[in-house]
């Protein structure tokens, strides 16, 4: 399946660097169409992080945010006990990508890029085909 629509899920530390996040996104989206990205999803407590805001604004991406309890309801292929202890959910990037896709109307979204780790940040990508 070549996805026609994408949501990037991002986990990051509060003081993460925008350049590090951009580098990680370049890796995560390698071979995918950046123009297909509909939004970026994250933990509600990180939606206003300067690095995320700068990158999302620069790319014209909408930011979707979710409480830890909602993210924790999704089974993620790469959970982290460290992340769970820090923010209350074992997955941010993967769960936020999948929740974002569902919020945007995807009925058959799947992870097309599993969690990748960068300097102070993680990313995952959910994709789906548009109807019609």
- CA distances in angstroms from 44 to 8, 63, 96, listed in the order given: 15, 10, 10
Average pLDDT, the chain: 95
Locate the domains of the chain by residue range: 5-128
Domain 5-128 fold is Nucleotidyltransferase; domain 5 (3.30.420)
pLDDT at 107: 87
104 pLDDT higher than 70: yes
Per residue in 38-92, pLDDT tens?
A: 999 999 999 999 999 999 999 999 999 999 999 999 989 999 999 999 999 999 9
Of 31, 40, 32, the C-alpha closest to 9 is 40
Residue 132, pLDDT score:
67
The pair of three-digit structure tokens given for residue 85, joined into one six-digit string = 């202890």
Question: What pLDDT, on the 0 to 100 scale, is given for residue 3?
Answer: 72
pLDDT tier for residue 101 given thresholds of 50, 70 and 90: very high
Instruction: Report which of 119, 73, 72, 111 is spatially closest to residue 94, judged by C-alpha positions.
Output: 111
- Where do we find the tokens 């925008």? 18
Full-model pTM:
0.96
The whole-angstrom separation of Cα 95 and Cα 126 is: 9
Q: 10 Å Cβ neighbour count for 103? A: 14
Given this model, what pLDDT does residue 85 score?
96
Q: How confident is the model at residue 131 (pLDDT cuts 50, 70, 90)?
A: confident
What is the Cβ-side half-sphere exposure of residue 49, based on CA atoms within 13 angstroms?
27
Angle subtended by helix axes 50-59 and 18-28, to nearest 10 = 50
């Amino acid at each position: 399946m070549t996805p026609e629509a994408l949501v990037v899920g991002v986990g990051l530390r509060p003081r993460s660097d925008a350049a590090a996040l951009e580098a990680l996104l370049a890796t995560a989206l390698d071979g995918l169409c950046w123009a297909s990205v509909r939004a970026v999803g994250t933990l509600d407590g990180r939606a206003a992080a300067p690095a995320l805001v700068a990158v999302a604004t620069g790319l014209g991406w909408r930011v979707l945010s979710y409480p830890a309890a909602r993210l924790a309801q999704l089974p993620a292929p790469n959970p982290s006990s460290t992340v769970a202890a820090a923010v209350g959910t074992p997955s941010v990037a993967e769960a936020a990508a999948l929740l974002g896709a569902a919020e945007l109307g995807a009925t058959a979204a799947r992870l097309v890029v599993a969690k990748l780790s960068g300097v102070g940040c993680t990313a995952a990508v959910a994709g789906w085909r548009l109807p019609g």
